[in-house]
Amino acid sequence: MSVPHTIDTGLQPERTSLSFVRTSLAILGLVVACLRWLPPSNPMALVGPAIAGTLVAGAAVHEHRSRPLRMTRFAAESATPAIVTGGFLVVSVALLSLSGLWVLVH
Here the contacts of 45-49 (C-beta below 8 Å, separation 24 or greater) are: 45/99, 45/102, 45/103, 47/99, 48/95, 48/96, 48/98, 48/99, 48/102, 49/96, 49/99
Residue 94 pLDDT: 92
Residue 62: its pLDDT value, please?
Answer: 84
Decide which of 22 and 82 is more confident. Answer: 22
Chain mean position to CA 33: 17
Stronger pLDDT, 8 or 61, i.e. the higher one: 61
Mean pLDDT for 1-12 is 61
Query: Is residue 42 scored above 80 in pLDDT?
Result: no
Residue 66: partners with Cβ closer than 8 Å, 6 or more residues away: 82, 85
**Pair 57, 92: CB distance under 8 Å:** no
48-100 residue pLDDT tens: 888 999 999 888 888 888 888 877 887 777 777 778 888 888 999 999 888 88
Helices marked H in the chain: 12-37, 44-75, 83-105
**pTM > 0.85: yes or no:** no
Q: Is the confidence at residue 36, as pLDDT, over 70? A: yes
Q: What is the mean pLDDT of the chain?
A: 81
